[in-house]
Amino acid sequence: MKKLLFLCLIFSSFSSAESNEPPTVVIIGDSLTEGYGISKETAYPALVEKKLNAEGVPVRIINAGISGSTSASGLERLRWQLKNSPAIVMIALGANDGLRGIPRKATEKNLDEMIALARQSKSVVVLAEMKLPPNYGKKEAAEFEALYSRLAKKHSVRLIPFLLAGVAGDSKLNQDDGIHPNEKGNQIVAETVGKVLKVELEKLKSKDAPKKVSAGK
């Protein structure tokens, strides 16, 4: 009897420890997410994690950004990251697709499959929109951007209108290449991403909170 009680106490302590683990957010992206040219500690995923934890929103963020990545590599990388049982999967891919002239249909198909897989695994999905540089032309840029809103609507997922909002095109916020945000630029990206993730994490917390049962008469 004592042995059984001891085992129950151990199991209970393990369960308690697991329940206290903060939810995991996986951000699958390219060099913009990885933090090209700066340290990972100053890249936006790390800044978002620090910011949200300081605001009382516990979270563990996995920076799954790899420089040079296109949407074609996203599905396999997502399958690997789903082993971490993320509460939220943020997809920030497609910039390199556009810059390299990869057909939009291929990009849309790859992102579509990623979203479907993440939702099938019960993860909340956040999709970050990418834009093409102005020199690609208005028509091309508009058609590229449209695929993100189309996917967000199709799968009913949260869309970040533009990952680099307030940063793109500002020399003070970008590195010498004019493409990758510097440390100050990443702080602004962290604000953009942090606001969205905070809302989604609070929704999950509210959903998982035990419901009060009113006393019967």
C-alpha to C-alpha distance for 131 and 143, rounded to whole angstroms: 10
Residue of 156, 171, 177, 214 marked active site: 177
Residue 170 among the catalytic residues: no
Taking residue 217's Cβ as centre, other Cβ atoms within 10 Å add up to: 3
Residue of 30, 69, 71, 180 marked active site: 180
Residue of 31, 69, 71, 123 marked active site: 31
Q: Which two tokens stand for residue 11?
A: 């199991």
Residue 177 among the catalytic residues: yes
Q: Which of 27, 31, 57, 58 is nearest to 45 (CA)?
A: 27
Q: Which of 119, 94, 123, 92 is nearest to 109 (CA)?
A: 94
> Per-residue b/e over 68-83, b at no fewer than 16 CB within 10 Å?
ebbbebbbebbeebbe
Measured CA distances, 78 to 93, 124, 176 (Å): 12, 13, 31
Q: Which residues are catalytic?
A: 31, 177, 180
